[in-house]
Amino acid sequence: MQESTLTLKGQTTVPQAIRDVLGAQPGTKLRWHAMPDGSVVVRAKNRSILEFAGMLTAPAGRKVKVADMNAWAHPPSE
């Protein structure tokens, strides 16, 4: 079990072992869920697909036609 201390400002440090489990890095948003039994569940917020926009660029080189991709993905039945 891990523990941390709440400051006067309501802040706490998430223990390293918990950050590792969450995959949390600086800037990661955490979601806090108060459960009916009084427990609290903390999850790292899933990233929006919009946050990935512009991260990938088209590779240089040979272009592949859609028809060629379809032929590879769905070969004719024999």
**CATH code of residue 26:** 2.10.260.10
Q: Is 41 within a domain?
A: yes
Q: Is 18 within a domain?
A: yes
Confidence band for 22, pLDDT divided at 50, 70 and 90:
confident
Using alpha carbons only, give the angle 36, 42, 54 rounded to the nearest 5 degrees: 135
pTM: predicted TM-score of the whole model, two decimal places: 0.52
Dump pLDDT digits (tens) for 23-68: 888 989 999 999 999 999 998 887 777 777 777 887 788 888 898 8
When divided into structural domains, the chain yields a total of 1
Q: Is 58 within a domain?
A: no
Q: Is 63 within a domain?
A: no
Q: Is 25 within a domain?
A: yes
Rounded Cα–Cα distance for residues 75 and 78 (Å)? 9
Range of the domain at 12: 1-47
Q: Is 37 within a domain?
A: yes
Q: Is 27 within a domain?
A: yes
